[in-house]
Amino acid sequence: MTTDLNTHTHGAIGHISLNRPKALHALTQGMCEAMAEALLGWRGDDAVTAVLLDHAEGRGFCAGGDVQLVRTSALEDGGAAGRAFFHAEYRLNHLMFTYPKPIVAFMDGVTMGGGVGISQPCPYRVATENTLFAMPEGSIGLFPDVGASWYLPRLPGATGRFLALTAARLDGAECLWAGLATHYIRSEDLAEVKACLAVGDPVEETLERFSSPAPEARIAGNVERIDRLFGHDTLEGIIAALEADDSEWAAKELKAVRAKCPMTGKVALRQFTENASCEDFAANMAMEYRVASRMMLRPDFAEGVRALLIDKTGDPQWNPATPEEVMPEMVDAVFAPMPQGEEWTPFPA
């Protein structure tokens, strides 16, 4: 059992706390496997009626996944360790999505990438004034994964495309507005909320009782612009729409889109199309695993992690460098079926 995770029970409540504070609780393969082990154990335990998911200390909730491990794997072992990480992470995501008991995720802090993957499957998602939500994979040449292909297309209007292509950061009020959070509760009240749940108070009634009015969601004021400018099906179409708009807001978002990996942008938009034909969340995760297995091996990923997280120069040199240079067959290749015996599979029901 990893020390980066605390699991215990309080009466009828299972409790999982991420405990990797120096890395903002970013997920390792060991953490994913330990979370899955706990959830599988409680799944058939009639004494456990609900699960709480939070972070143990420091700034949280969860800043993502162990991308530096994945980068090292891509460079040194052909991606074997990276694929093992994604397989374990996506199994956890699917287990949570299909879990028969309610899970309450406390998104009290940074909730990005892998943190999105373990909060969005939960039927109860609590945002606070500390919540900072984003899908920043375009900045490192990866792609919006951990179920983003399922969640983002279901957000209001073109909000999902906007988040995928700009890596925009949403606060707790904006998460509530978009449906990414189900409740807004002040961080100072969370300890009491958890204490009430631990003694068996009903989950939904307790969360409603402690909910506070959220501040005005800033993103709501940009809905018309987001839907109009990000509603196009192609990356080139979205960039052209942003270029044609003379507002300061459009100029800022155009800069954000252009800074991201062009291949990531095209893959992200293709995910919206592919998800429409996924019959369930397992099919979606199998699709994302195919993409992850290929995108992690592309030079863009190693370059993006270098520029953002290792050298911290912020100057990734993408290849291809422009959307026009990303050919359809390049995108087709990352979505192609895996070789026989290498497809992703969920835990048995």
243-246: Cβ within 8 A, 24+ apart: none
* 3-state secondary structure at position 233: coil
Could you give the CA distance from residue 225 to residue 257 in angstroms, rounded to a whole number? 15
In the numeric block, the tokens 């983002």 are attached to 152
Q: Which residues lie closer than 8 Å to 68 by C-beta, 6 or more apart?
A: 305, 309, 310
Name the catalytic one among 82, 114, 141, 147: 114
Buried b (16+ CB within 10 A) or exposed e, 157-181: ebbbbbbbbbbbbbbbbbbbbbebb
- The answer to whether 188 is a known catalytic residue is no
**Closest by alpha carbon to 142, among 127, 164, 122?**
164
* 3-state secondary structure at position 24: coil
Name the catalytic one among 4, 54, 145, 171: 145
Angle separating helix axes 159-166 and 248-259, nearest 10 degrees: 60
- The answer to whether 114 is a known catalytic residue is yes
Q: How far is CA 329 from CA 31, 284, 335, in A?
A: 36, 21, 10
Name the catalytic one among 66, 108, 137, 274: 137
- The answer to whether 314 is a known catalytic residue is no
CA gyration radius for the chain? Answer: 20
* 3-state secondary structure at position 14: strand
- The answer to whether 201 is a known catalytic residue is no
Could you give the CA distance from residue 109 to residue 128 in angstroms, rounded to a whole number? 8
Name the catalytic one among 60, 65, 79, 82: 65
Q: What are the catalytic residues?
A: 65, 114, 137, 145
